[in-house]
Amino acid sequence: MTETVQISLQDAFSLLTQVFERSGASKGVATSVAHALVAAESEGQIGHGFSRVADYAAQLQSGKINPNADMVLTRPAPAGLHVLADYGFAYPAIEAALAAGLPLAREMGIAVMTIGNSHHCGALAIHVEKIAQAGLVGLMVANTPKAIAPWGAKDPVFGTNPIAFATPVKDAPPLVIDLSLSVVARGKVMAAKKAGKPIPTGWALDAQGQPTTDPEAALEGTMLPIGDAKGTTLALMIEVLASALTGSAFSAEAGSFFHADGPRPNVGQTIIAIDPGSRSDFGARVKTLLDQIAAMPGARLPGARRRAAIARSESDGLQVPAHLFHQVQKLANPDAQT
């Protein structure tokens, strides 16, 4: 049993904002990053929440994350926006893209937002959910540091390259989908390593391309994709959309999202928002489909666990592992007595 500390969403948000301001971020950037990490933690995506704070702070201090990033938004085409994140955090760049891109999608019927020279964008669910809350259909892809080998090869080329989707649903919260193309998230292997536990076969291969149950060997090898060759094919598709189309590094070139030193990640994100407005029954049709699935014995709708976690976090606050909480508290108030 891990010892945990209970903290309200508001207190968590204030604490994290303080950490990032102290580490060199502007008030606005610190706010944006703190908001995203607390949202990820609150929805149960603990690999994208408190566990990232110390690494983000260290990268800000070393300059691996540019604390003075001069983010620039341009409109290279009537229905296209590009945000140059200038090696700063991804979160404010994505916020800027959505702030301009959602009205644009409503005006044009569809808009594409590319974000280049970016960093870790955390739980994609948080970003696409905002698109659906605005009444639009959202699609988002991102590339991430190399983790998956092309099918048949043994060296990683693709990231776990997540894809996310969200759609409005009539008289209900949006449907939010967010998945990576590896069988499991790399964070699960890291968690197994920390816990000193083996991983199931089918999650990863070692550096020689052989199946392994050793999390350490897995982290030096590659993650297995969903659907074998089909998964690596989808990872290639996302690689083109998130790196070449955004002017960012390929996953194989990207620096780590962890550690204070080493090359910058320089990854990219591509977001597409579509206005279903011309189809008046759209939200109702999606509701019909989801209701039909929910009524089937054994079936579970994507996002159900996520929404339950958010509701729990909103009423009871976050349960953060004590060692993480104290680490973050120390970063917020380095001079305080402990």
Report the interface residues with its own copies, using CB under 8 A. Answer: 76-80, 82, 107-112, 137, 149-155, 157, 163, 165, 167, 175, 177, 179, 183, 209, 226-231, 233-234, 236-237, 239-241, 243-245, 247, 250, 252, 272, 274-279, 281-282, 285-286, 288-289, 292-293, 296-300, 302
H-helix segments, the chain: 9-22, 27-42, 53-62, 90-108, 124-133, 186-195, 215-220, 229-239, 282-294, 304-316, 322-332
Task: For the CB of residue 124, give the shortest distance to its own copies in the complex, in Å.
Answer: 13
What is the rounded CA–CA span in Å between residue 17 and residue 102?
26
Nearer to its own copies, 296 or 336 (CB): 296
Nearer to its own copies, 67 or 283 (CB): 283
Nearer to its own copies, 28 or 227 (CB): 227
Diameter of the chain by CA atoms? 60
Task: For the CB of residue 326, give the shortest distance to its own copies in the complex, in Å.
Answer: 35
Nearer to its own copies, 63 or 247 (CB): 247
Task: For the CB of residue 64, give the shortest distance to its own copies in the complex, in Å.
Answer: 23
Q: Given the structure tokens 């917020």, which residue do they identify?
A: 332
* DSSP-assigned letters across all residues of 84-130: E-TTS-HHHHHHHHHHHHHHHHHHHSEEEEEEEEE-----HHHHHHH
CA dihedral 102, 139, 95, 13 (to 10 degrees): 130
Task: For the CB of residue 242, give the shortest distance to its own copies in the complex, in Å.
Answer: 12
Nearer to its own copies, 63 or 276 (CB): 276
Task: For the CB of residue 8, give the shortest distance to its own copies in the complex, in Å.
Answer: 32
Task: For the CB of residue 47, give the shortest distance to its own copies in the complex, in Å.
Answer: 16
Nearer to its own copies, 160 or 313 (CB): 160
What is the rounded CA–CA span in Å between residue 21 and residue 27?
6
- Across 30-40, b (16+ Cβ under 10 Å) vs e yields bbbbbbbbbbb
